Structure 1
Amino acid sequence: MVSQGTNFVLWHFILAIVIVIFFTPKLSYAKQSKLMGLKMNMIDNCWRKNPEWRRYRQQLATCSVGYVGKMINNIGNDLIYYKVTDPNDDPITPKPGTLRYGASVIQGKVWITFQKDMNIKLMKPLLISSFTTIDGRGVNVHIANNACLMIFKATNIIIHSIRIHHCKAQAPGMVMGPNGKVIHLGLVDGDAIRLVTASKIWIDHNTLYKCEDGLLDVTRGSTDITISNNWFREQDKVMLLGHDDGYVRDNNMKVTVVYNHFGPNCNQRMPRIRHGYAHVANNLYLGWMQYAIGGSMGPSLKSEGNLFIAPKVGSKEVTWRKIGNTSGDKWEFHSVRDAFENGASFVVTKGGRVPKPNYSKEQGFKVADVKYVKSLTRSSGAFQCSRAFIC
Structure 2
Amino acid sequence: MAGQAEGFGRHAIGGLHGNVYHVTTLGGTHDRSSIYNDGPGSLRDGCRQQEPLWIVFDVSGTLRLASGLRVSSYKTIDGRGQRIVLSGKGLLLRECEHVILCNLEVEGGRGHDADAVQIKPGSRHVWVDRCGLRDFADGLLDVTCGSTDVTVSRCRFWAHDKAVLIGASSAHVGDRRIRVTIHHCFFDGTRQRQPRVRFARVHLYNNYTRNWGIYTVCASVESQIISQSNIYEAGDKKRVFTHMPEQAADKDRSCSGRIRSEGDMFLNGAQEYTGNDDAETAEDSPWDFEVRVCYQPCSVQPASMALKELLECRTGWQPVPLPEDVS
Structure 2 residue 128 is the aligned partner of structure 1 residue 203:
yes
Moved more, 193-202 or 343-352: 343-352
- Contact 2:227-2:264 within 8 A present in 1 as well: yes
1:276 Cα shift?
Answer: 1.0
- Match for residue 106 of structure 2 among 154, 157, 164: 164
Structure 2 residue 260 is the aligned partner of structure 1 residue 334:
yes
Structure 2 residue 283 is the aligned partner of structure 1 residue 382:
no
CA distance in 2, matches of 1:268, 1:64: 26
Q: Sequence identity of aligned pairs in percent?
A: 28
- Contact 1:109-1:132 within 8 A present in 2 as well: yes
What letter is aligned with 1:368?
A: Q
1:319 Cα shift?
Answer: 1.2
Moved more, 252-261 or 352-361: 352-361
Give the alignment's TM-score, normalised by structure 2. 0.86
Q: Which secondary structure state, in structure 2, belongs to the residue aligned with residue 86 of structure 1?
A: coil
Give aligned pairs, total.
301
Structure 2 residue 207 is the aligned partner of structure 1 residue 280:
no
From the two aligned structures, give the one with the greater helix fraction.
1
Structure 2 residue 236 is the aligned partner of structure 1 residue 295:
no
CA distance in 2, matches of 1:152, 1:190: 14
CA distance in 1, matches of 2:92, 2:310: 28
Deviations 1:184-230 (A, max 9, x none): xxxxx111010112100000000010111110011100000001000
Q: Which secondary structure state, in structure 2, belongs to the residue aligned with residue 262 of structure 1?
A: strand
Partner of 1:62: 3
CA distance in 1, matches of 2:104, 2:37: 24
- Match for residue 83 of structure 2 among 109, 133, 140: 140
What letter is aligned with 1:374?
A: K
Give the alignment's TM-score, normalised by structure 1. 0.72
1:364 Cα shift?
Answer: 2.9
1:148 Cα shift?
Answer: 1.4
Partner of 2:250: none
Moved more, 374-383 or 335-344: 374-383
What letter is aligned with 1:117?
A: S
CA distance in 2, matches of 1:127, 1:243: 20
Aligned alpha-carbon RMSD (Å): 2.2
CA spacing shift, 1:86–1:92, aligned 2, 3 Å: closer
**Greater gyration radius:** 1
CA spacing shift, 1:354–1:318, aligned 2, 3 Å: farther
Partner of 1:306: 230
Q: Which secondary structure state, in structure 2, belongs to the residue aligned with residue 102 of structure 1?
A: helix
CA distance in 1, matches of 2:159, 2:229: 24
1:150 Cα shift?
Answer: 0.5
Aligned pairs for 1:206-221 (under 5 A) are 206-221=131-146
CA distance in 2, matches of 1:141, 1:359: 38
Structure 2 residue 63 is the aligned partner of structure 1 residue 120:
yes
Q: Which secondary structure state, in structure 2, belongs to the residue aligned with residue 83 of structure 1?
A: strand
Aligned pairs for 1:320-331 (under 5 A) are 320-322=242-244, 326-328=253-255, 331=257
CA distance in 2, matches of 1:323, 1:353: 17
CA distance in 2, matches of 1:309, 1:316: 8
- Structure 1 gaps of 5+ residues are 1-59, 171-188
What letter is aligned with 1:112?
A: I
What letter is aligned with 2:137?
A: E
1:354 Cα shift?
Answer: 8.1
- Structure 2 gaps of 5+ residues are 248-252, 277-282, 323-327
CA distance in 1, matches of 2:215, 2:294: 31
- Contact 2:9-2:149 within 8 A present in 1 as well: yes
Partner of 1:243: 168
Aligned pairs for 1:7-22 (under 5 A) are none
Partner of 2:45: 101
Partner of 2:325: none
CA distance in 1, matches of 2:315, 2:37: 35
1:286 Cα shift?
Answer: 1.5
CA spacing shift, 1:254–1:375, aligned 2, 3 Å: same
